[in-house]
Chains A and B, each alone.
Chain A
């Protein structure tokens, strides 16, 4: 079809070679014959123009004479002539395509220069195409973009005319800066950037003097309008329905910031001045920063503080231009509301700076960009001086939107002047409303009011003082008043710090942390600004840190460690990051002891929290390792975090929103467990790092400890089973199967050393699935999955094969060995976790049994138990803590959990640290007392122990409400006696931080007295003296913890063995000891299995009579019983 059309055009003569000079001559002939466009020749003309394009490019690449002919005949003029004839879109599109192709593909500079000369191109640029046609628009803007890519110091003269002050390429392009079509806007930005990049002083001066103010003021308004839209979107959101739109708006804001940053890093100084001025004084300060302090009265034109914090973080993360970000940071951290009453004088030296002498207001530019440009062109040079005051031309009603009407510009001139006299008064009357005038959201405002919002650009310098006085708004006055009391008011900083409070949620806190992170990492902010406030600067030597900040960070951490803390993981991770930045100076840690103690308190809390979720279940181990992997493989990226619009909406708990786990609260028991694990990991790593200790326990499997492929092992005296490995894709290999502690490996004999083997494959036993193969009793099917960091991802098998053994006996042996190895491997790891949690090590023989019977039983058991808990959690506050109790209902598991407490107790009793290492599980409490009855080591404290321990046992039984009633009154009596030594792990926090002694505090907690009005953040927000602020907030932290933990501590106290040793110090040693214990205990398996059989027959030996529910009684009895039985194997060790 097209072939035909070509021959039709060129068919008259030399159709055979359309790429030739002759053909161009023919085309020229056609053009001369058809100078007027008619319906008849339209198609012909279009094809002619198209063919000319093709020939020209061909000529450029192959034959220079073609271009000469084009030059000679001035064929470009024909194009213009056709264009001017209103020839319709069809021809226009073809012409624009031709121009695009020409400028895109011409490689010879001379050809390019020719095309650009004679001002033809500029004529085309200013031609009024029908821009409502999206195709014409697209071709046109692409054409401009193509041209802008050709701009350099030489070609710029073809576009910019110094004498007439014309720069059509630029001025025409920026008129589309707010075009609804995103691709057009992007092209406009590209064009402007390409222009700014050209280092031509004259041109840049022109840009600054004639276009910068109109363009930037409109751009800033455009950005601000988006921001208000974004805020509206956040405010009106219900049930996260606005998320799609919100993420678009956030992305748009990011685009703007990146664009601004791209302009700023071109580093054209005087252009940057104007831009900085506009951004600061027309957008960032009046709209973003002002919104941080939110007086109730001004409901208009402001954005929510959380939105503003979020946006400001983005600003600091993206823009690093020193004059801009430093000034902005300075206002946030040092400024007060007076910045909105004093005129800006930052760049008053530049006449062109529109805002010089004006207030910092977010207002709509008085006229549309197009009109501004037009006016500036018409005014020409004579009126250059007037330019700065172009705003005097008057305000139109702000109801009109930026893109739309600006027709009334100029009409408001008189009004503006007249209004000025009465302005001061009316401003006052209006109170706080004046800030951020130029509403975008409220369209229907009374016109009288609008006038008041007119910026006072007409002020002359000398008048400034009085006018400012008059212009002070109510809350500004208040601010000024407060300033007289304190030496310096920093409302923004106060707001930032007080927003770190996470008691009810961490909605604001996350943004504040991001903001602080962004500011501290910004290259554009002066170090001394940060140092004055002692803000954390990464990798900087320092001797002190901001006490106010650090205390708040630790407070966030303590909150995160609470069972129902509202702190999201991302918030916690950021807090940890900032804390590290604050107190780590080089390799030294300068944290004060008192803060470290608080932090340790939080860490202990997280440990307790995790303990409540700890279960001897398969899935716990998998989760534990998964969480560690995903935490280490995906450290928080603040920049990505702040690109996510979903965090702009109030924190939610449901995964149905699709929000990433770390950016929301946990939902359900599994996620609560995951969260507790993560919190524990983070605080543990932070604590270790601050104390300069290496991590020796995590990850549970270190890759360097594992056997790897091609390792050569000494396999003498190892159990090896020969087998044929048939992989899924059919490959076969003769191998020997060896089972190690954590891994199974397939080896082949090493040729040089007898009895040695080369590892051909090694996989973790814990991730292995073994099953028999149907109708082949000699074969096993083995699948080993790769542990994935994403729990939702489909597991990827790293081995999937059938192992064929010599006979069915060997097959059974192998199967047993693998199955047992798997259980052993998992158990070892569980024991290591238990050690990490300072839990007594579990030999957990019953579990082994449970697993060995069939892998399926255990698997089916898991969901059941999870279900049980989630059922309980919501209505019973203690249920979370009595996780074990619900498990205990299954007799087998009851033993599994309760046996352990016994075992370590005699083992570790000679070394006090184990008891000091904090509370053990609830289960423990029962046994601790009962076992101690038989173990002489614990004799001394036995008496005191007994009553509370029994009550603890009840609490654990799962009937939380009932138990609490009975236990609460009973506790006060033993408490005072126990107090000093039984202080739970988190206690050092308290004793260090309050004036009261530890005893009194623990009495308080034991009697469940509500803490006396905890002095919270508000006390320290006022920057009281260092000493005060040092104590108060922490006291409140401690007291709150106390309150929260009230009953938990009851239990915990009982468990203490009364050793007055400082826990934190000995902590590390304990862990190591317990780990050793793990190993020593293992051999007792068989005995324990026996235990299991006996269990259930016995009768409760020691009941205190206050057990209400039979179920609990049974549980206690069982555990009791179990302990008695297991006593036997351990006693020799005691002696």
Chain B
């Protein structure tokens, strides 16, 4: 439970591109991908290790809330990283990327790390968007790019972890102003904006409770780290 940092992610993209499945696939290894079963979740958390530091990733799916402008806006602002997902078997989901990206750039913290993900790479036969196109789009807009398959779990791990690495590097470079937030936590009774950019510094002293659960980490929901 004890972590050095907590990064909040959001997953964005058209409906049906497999966002919530990616999320479950990454956050909970116990749900093994099976051909005749698709399970998704709207929230998940998982511990990873970067540079010897425990980092907790909290991932929030924003699906179904597109009709409320305030919600979309707030989500972007509260996240340190975003996975922008399209479906390689559906050209339209790729075409909508620009709109998604514009939205993200407009509402989010300028330091938010965005990773472009072409999902369903297992369905090679139905591919409509070439890998090169995804790469080109990512290059043009300064994103990290990867093709994944929530079905086969291919590259899923890497997608989330690479994004986290990027955020971590930005923290090391001092791009993210996280110290400011901890100060506020103490000084400000309203506890405003403690995680305005989607990063939180972990508790200094792990509680006994969390020590207990970290012993069982391998099995617990949301704690499928290895």
Q: Which A residues are within 8 Å of any B CB, using their own CB?
A: 1-3, 5-6, 19, 43, 46-47, 50, 53-54, 57-58, 61-62, 89-90, 93-94, 97, 100-101, 104-105, 135, 138-139, 142, 145-146, 149, 180-183, 185-186, 189-190, 193, 225-226, 229, 244-245, 248-249, 251-252, 254-255, 258-259, 261-262, 401-404, 440
A97 neighbours in B (Cβ, 8 Å): 28, 41, 221-222
Q: Does B99 contact A (CB under 8 A)?
A: no
Q: Give CA–CA (A3, B177) in the complex, Å.
A: 41
Between A and B, 15 residue pairs with Cβ closer than 8 Å are A2-B30, A50-B31, A93-B220, A94-B220, A100-B43, A142-B41, A142-B43, A145-B42, A182-B77, A183-B8, A185-B74, A225-B190, A226-B190, A254-B73, A259-B70
Q: How many Å from the CB of A96 to the closest CB on chain B?
A: 8
In the complex the two chains form, is B191's CB within 8 Å of A180's CB?
yes
Q: Give CA–CA (A101, B40) in the complex, Å.
A: 7
Q: How many Å from the CB of A60 to the closest CB on chain B?
A: 10
Q: How many Å from the CB of B187 to the closest CB on chain A?
A: 11
In the complex the two chains form, is B192's CB within 8 Å of A248's CB?
yes
In the complex the two chains form, is B42's CB within 8 Å of A142's CB?
yes
B38-59 vs A, CB cutoff 8 Å, 1 = contact: the mask equals 1111110100000000000010
In the complex the two chains form, is A54's CB within 8 Å of B39's CB?
yes
B226 neighbours in A (Cβ, 8 Å): 1
B185-226 vs A, CB cutoff 8 Å, 1 = contact: the mask equals 000111111111000000000000100010010111110101
Q: Give CA–CA (A183, B71) in the complex, Å.
A: 10
B74-94 vs A, CB cutoff 8 Å, 1 = contact: the mask equals 110110000000000000000
Q: A58-B36, A180-B194, A226-B190 are contacts. A262–B70 as well, Cβ < 8 Å?
A: yes
Tell me the residues in window 63-116 of chain B with beta carbons closer than 8 Å to chain A beta carbons: 64-65, 68-71, 73-75, 77-78
Q: Does B15 contact A (CB under 8 A)?
A: no
Q: Does B20 contact A (CB under 8 A)?
A: yes
Interface residues of chain A: helix, strand, loop or mixed (majority)? helix
Q: How many Å from the CB of B162 to the closest CB on chain A?
A: 22
Q: Give CA–CA (A46, B224) in the complex, Å.
A: 13
From the candidates B30, B60, B68, B190, name the one contacting A403 in the complex (CB within 8 A).
B190
Which one of A62, A139, A185 has the greatest number of beta carbons of chain B within 10 Å? A139
Q: How many Å from the CB of B198 to the closest CB on chain A?
A: 8
CB-CB nearest in chain A for B77 = A251
A145 neighbours in B (Cβ, 8 Å): 42
B68 neighbours in A (Cβ, 8 Å): 189-190, 193, 262
CB-CB nearest in chain B for A186 = B74
Q: Give CA–CA (A138, B221) in the complex, Å.
A: 13
Tell me the residues in window 17-46 of chain B with beta carbons closer than 8 Å to chain A beta carbons: 20, 24, 28-32, 34, 36-43, 45
Closest 7 CB pairs of A and B: A258-B70, A142-B43, A180-B191, A259-B70, A248-B193, A182-B78, A248-B196
Q: Does B128 contact A (CB under 8 A)?
A: no
In the complex the two chains form, is B216's CB within 8 Å of A90's CB?
yes
A402 neighbours in B (Cβ, 8 Å): 190
B209 neighbours in A (Cβ, 8 Å): 89
Q: A251-B196, A262-B70 are contacts. A244–B177 as well, Cβ < 8 Å?
A: yes
Q: Give CA–CA (A296, B49) in the complex, Å.
A: 57
A183 neighbours in B (Cβ, 8 Å): 8, 58, 60, 75, 78, 195
CB-CB nearest in chain A for B45 = A135
In the complex the two chains form, is A94's CB within 8 Å of B221's CB?
yes
A19 neighbours in B (Cβ, 8 Å): 34, 36-37
B162-174 vs A, CB cutoff 8 Å, 1 = contact: the mask equals 0000000000000
Q: Give CA–CA (A610, B10) in the complex, Å.
A: 49
CB-CB nearest in chain A for B195 = A182
In the complex the two chains form, is B219's CB within 8 Å of A5's CB?
yes
A47 neighbours in B (Cβ, 8 Å): 30, 219
Q: How many Å from the CB of A1119 to the closest CB on chain B?
A: 52
Q: Give CA–CA (A94, B8) in the complex, Å.
A: 21
Q: Give CA–CA (A189, B192) in the complex, Å.
A: 17
CB-CB nearest in chain B for A178 = B190
Q: How many Å from the CB of A409 to the closest CB on chain B?
A: 18
In the complex the two chains form, is A104's CB within 8 Å of B190's CB?
no
Q: How many Å from the CB of B59 to the closest CB on chain A?
A: 10
B125 neighbours in A (Cβ, 8 Å): none
Q: Give CA–CA (A497, B2) in the complex, Å.
A: 56
Q: A19-B37, A61-B37, A139-B43 are contacts. A193–B74 as well, Cβ < 8 Å?
A: no
CB-CB nearest in chain A for B65 = A190
Q: How many Å from the CB of A750 to the closest CB on chain B?
A: 34
Q: Give CA–CA (A190, B73) in the complex, Å.
A: 12
Q: How many Å from the CB of B8 to the closest CB on chain A?
A: 6
In the complex the two chains form, is A62's CB within 8 Å of B193's CB?
no
From the candidates B24, B60, B190, name the one contacting A401 in the complex (CB within 8 A).
B190
A50 neighbours in B (Cβ, 8 Å): 30-31, 221
Which one of B20, B45, B77, B219 has the greatest number of beta carbons of chain A within 10 Å? B219
Q: Give CA–CA (A261, B64) in the complex, Å.
A: 19
Q: A61-B36, A101-B39, A180-B194 are contacts. A93–B184 as well, Cβ < 8 Å?
A: no
B75 neighbours in A (Cβ, 8 Å): 183, 186
B216 neighbours in A (Cβ, 8 Å): 43, 90
Q: Give CA–CA (A537, B45) in the complex, Å.
A: 51
CB-CB nearest in chain A for B224 = A2
Which one of B30, B190, B221 has the greatest number of beta carbons of chain A within 10 Å? B221
Q: How many Å from the CB of B210 to the closest CB on chain A?
A: 9
Q: Give CA–CA (A323, B67) in the complex, Å.
A: 23
Q: Give CA–CA (A238, B34) in the complex, Å.
A: 59
Which one of A53, A105, A185, A254 has the greatest number of beta carbons of chain B within 10 Å? A105
In the complex the two chains form, is A244's CB within 8 Å of B180's CB?
yes
B58 neighbours in A (Cβ, 8 Å): 138, 183
CB-CB nearest in chain A for B218 = A1
Q: A1-B218, A61-B37, A261-B70 are contacts. A89–B192 as well, Cβ < 8 Å?
A: no
In the complex the two chains form, is B36's CB within 8 Å of A262's CB?
no
Q: How many Å from the CB of B24 to the closest CB on chain A?
A: 8
In the complex the two chains form, is A182's CB within 8 Å of B196's CB?
yes
Q: Give CA–CA (A217, B119) in the complex, Å.
A: 45
B45 neighbours in A (Cβ, 8 Å): 135, 138
Q: How many Å from the CB of A1011 to the closest CB on chain B?
A: 47
Q: A149-B64, A182-B196 are contacts. A189–B36 as well, Cβ < 8 Å?
A: no
In the complex the two chains form, is B69's CB within 8 Å of A258's CB?
yes
Q: Give CA–CA (A97, B8) in the complex, Å.
A: 18
CB-CB nearest in chain B for A46 = B219
Q: Give CA–CA (A483, B174) in the complex, Å.
A: 57
Q: Give CA–CA (A262, B71) in the complex, Å.
A: 9
B8 neighbours in A (Cβ, 8 Å): 183
Q: A89-B213, A139-B43, A190-B65 are contacts. A245–B37 as well, Cβ < 8 Å?
A: no
Q: How many Å from the CB of A50 to the closest CB on chain B?
A: 6
CB-CB nearest in chain A for B21 = A105
From the candidates A2, A226, A252, name the one contacting B29 in the complex (CB within 8 A).
A2
In the complex the two chains form, is B69's CB within 8 Å of A104's CB?
no
B24 neighbours in A (Cβ, 8 Å): 101
Q: How many Å from the CB of B144 to the closest CB on chain A?
A: 21
